[in-house]
Chain A
Amino acid sequence: MAERPQILAGARNLGRDETGDSPAARLARLREGDTVTARLFRFDPTADAAPRFETYRVPYTKWMRVLEVLTYVSEDLGGDLAHRWFCANRMCGTCAVRVNGREVLACWEPVEPEMTIEPLRNAPIVRDLVIDRSGYERRVLDLTPWLERREPYAGFPEPLAHPAMAPADKALDCISCMCCFSACPVVGLGDETNFAGPAPLVQLARVALDPRDGIDRGRIALERGAVFDCVSCYKCEEVCPVSIPIVTGAIEPLKALAFKSMARKSRHARVFLAIVRARGRIDPSALILGVQRLAALRHPLRVLKLWRRGKIDPLKTLFGFRLPDIAQIRQVFAAVRGGRP
């Protein structure tokens, strides 16, 4: 077992304590008898010209969750608030909303003294906090995330070892709540990219990483999911209510499958790997040139300015440089990748 590196507490989570940004601190902010102030997003696209916010005051009860506030508003205050929920137990994934700008499950999130509650982003609004999930569901279906076997079904109970299922294990926890889909900045760009979004890719990873599946899931991840358009910002992981490591446990393994299946089309990754192998480290200009080819030179004045400011060095880019210890780096490459390109 490795020794653990020494970790100094402090700067890396500075702000957490001051803002009470921990589950315990969040729960401790209210006491019985207090009032919760909820600013609720209201909008009926069939009747309203624009969305508005309405403020409601709700008496706090111990362990109160956001869903109870919404229920109180719609049932006890006689409002006509539209919101969606079913299990109230972090299972069905239907009650996700944004509280103070952060995606949460209403049924699981402790209330805050003051809350602005809005619908999820990246989906049309049906009314108030209810969004139209059909666009998301189409993206999921387009990735065909169901098992397809090459080998005949072994019969029940099918022998299945825990280690073989470990890679898919976390992705199987996904409840399709769309929190990550709402938080993803690339999904937020709409038609600018073909990126399927984190939740659909988690659904794909469930089967792609399942040893029983026999389909080329790398191709699907690349061609229908644009998996390399993930910016790796971890916004999805931050809001996932069931703590799925979406980037490292779903999207990166799908990138690996995409590269394995379609190395030529995984151009960025392929060029990156080749440069590190040849030189030991990345020359960003060589990377851009390798990925974009002549298109990298489409703004010649810009390239000239980059050169004049010392941002690029065409001689180094074209004729290469190697780290002094390139032999050691290549040795690592050879030991891990063997003859693979």
Chain B
Amino acid sequence: MRFAYYPGCSAQSTCKELNAATHVVAANLGLELIELPSAGCTGSRELRAIDPDLFLALNARLLALAEANGLPLMTVCNTCTLNFLDVNKILAEEPERLAAVNAILAKQGLHYRGTTRVSHFLWVLLEDIGEARLRERVVRRLAGLRVAAFYGCHITRPPAHFGFVDSRNARSIERINEILGCESIDYSGRTECCGFHTAAHEEKIAIKLTGRHIKSARDNGAAAIVTPCPLCHTVLDTFQDQMERDLGTKLGMPILHLPQLVGLAIGLPPAQLGVAHHMVPVDLAFS
């Protein structure tokens, strides 16, 4: 099973441990990742807003690189995933924009036909590796570990891509939790926003939005939060001390990247999964 792998900016800088964990977990699950040679930015939210044509061209280039290798594209970032999905949709619906983008890519010897399937590690686990195979690989069921899923936004909304009337009905991470043997808890933040996309210029939005959800997870008995998105992880983990000051209470909530949780259950040592890089210590008890 081979995928072109797009780690995105965060997994190569502030969340390097996510990149490391993804590689080691993928290898253990029989997933071959072919890293794109020059994985530039997908534009996050800023670039796509201020220059939609640039956004299309930069993403089409990445999609074309995967297509040239005949591979589906796997990401580990919610926002990058949605950017790729949006670009695929726009280029499929607006042939004149596809032609304009291809005129630019032609100078690099690239051409995009629009066929690259975009997936996220969370979806690859369930759709490509499959529940049965993942279940087989679990050697250390995380029994007794109470985990709160923090989906983030761009993997459950907008409804045009994911089809939920109410995105709170998303259950994919809870399904993974069940396979890994841990207990899912319900709380206020499952499909809420971490506020990452305003954090550079207005970090109090992220702190105010997210602190209460971590508190809700704690109050409902979570021992850890797991997220499929490095942007959410950045807010939940690195801003947590500021949320504690804002709320006037200790949270101390370990935040796991999804591949780290999977890695623990398939028997990989925590050190190999990079948990030492987190700001909030990851010290989990499971039987």
Contacts and interface: CB of A to CB of B under 8 A. Distances in A.
Interface in B166-207: 166-172, 174-175, 192-193, 195-198, 200-202, 204-205
Interface in B1-50: 9-10, 12-17, 37-41, 43-50
A46 interface: no
Interface stretch (B53-61, B219-227, B250-258): B53-61
Interface SS, A side: helix
B114 A192 contact: no
Contact of A193 (B98, B117, B175, B205): B205
Interface in A271-295: 271-273, 276, 280-285, 287-288, 291-292
Contacts of B116: 5
Nearest to B54: A336
B179 to A, nearest CB: 12
A291 B201 contact: yes
Given A2-B98, A5-B117, A272-B47, A245 B166 contact: no
Given A6-B115, A292-B200, A268 B46 contact: yes
A5 B71 CA distance: 11
A21 B158 contact: no
Interface string B209-248: 1000000000000000000000000100010010000000
A116 B163 CA distance: 23
Nearest to B38: A325
B157 interface: yes
B209 A185 contact: yes
B49 A256 contact: yes
Interface string A156-189: 0000000000000000000000000000011001
Interface stretch (A32-40, A73-81, A196-204, A233-241): A233-241
Interface string B92-118: 100100100000100110001111111
Interface in A313-341: 313, 316, 323-326, 328-329, 331-333, 335-337
A134 interface: no
A90 interface: no
B225 to A, nearest CB: 18
B135 interface: no
A208 B279 CA distance: 43
Interface in A14-70: 14-16, 18-19, 21-23, 26
Nearest to A25: B165
A224 interface: no
A118 B249 CA distance: 30
A68 B189 CA distance: 32
Interface in A122-146: none
Contact of A229 (B98, B158, B205): B205
Contacts of B261: none
Interface stretch (A147-155, A209-217, A302-310): A302-310
Among A5, A269, A310, find the residue whose CB has the most chain B CB atoms closer than 10 A.
A5
A273 B50 contact: yes
A316 B198 CA distance: 23
A11 B120 CA distance: 10
Given A189-B208, A325-B38, A336 B14 contact: no
12 contacts: A11-B172, A12-B120, A12-B123, A185-B195, A192-B208, A235-B153, A237-B157, A253-B49, A273-B51, A281-B39, A309-B276, A310-B277
Q: Which 7 A-B pairs have the closest CB atoms?
A: A2-B114, A15-B171, A325-B38, A233-B193, A234-B157, A11-B126, A255-B49
Given A6-B72, A259-B49, 19 more contacts: A2-B113, A3-B113, A5-B116, A14-B172, A186-B195, A230-B198, A231-B193, A233-B153, A237-B157, A238-B159, A256-B49, A273-B46, A276-B58, A280-B41, A306-B279, A309-B278, A311-B238, A328-B108, A336-B104
Interface of A: 1-8, 10-16, 18-19, 21-23, 26, 101-102, 185-186, 189, 192-193, 228-235, 237-238, 245, 247-248, 251-253, 255-256, 259-260, 266-269, 271-273, 276, 280-285, 287-288, 291-292, 302, 305-306, 309-313, 316, 323-326, 328-329, 331-333, 335-337
Interface of B: 9-10, 12-17, 37-41, 43-54, 57-58, 61, 72, 86, 88, 91-92, 95, 98, 104, 107-108, 112-120, 122-123, 125-128, 153-155, 157-172, 174-175, 192-193, 195-198, 200-202, 204-205, 208-209, 234, 238, 241, 276-279
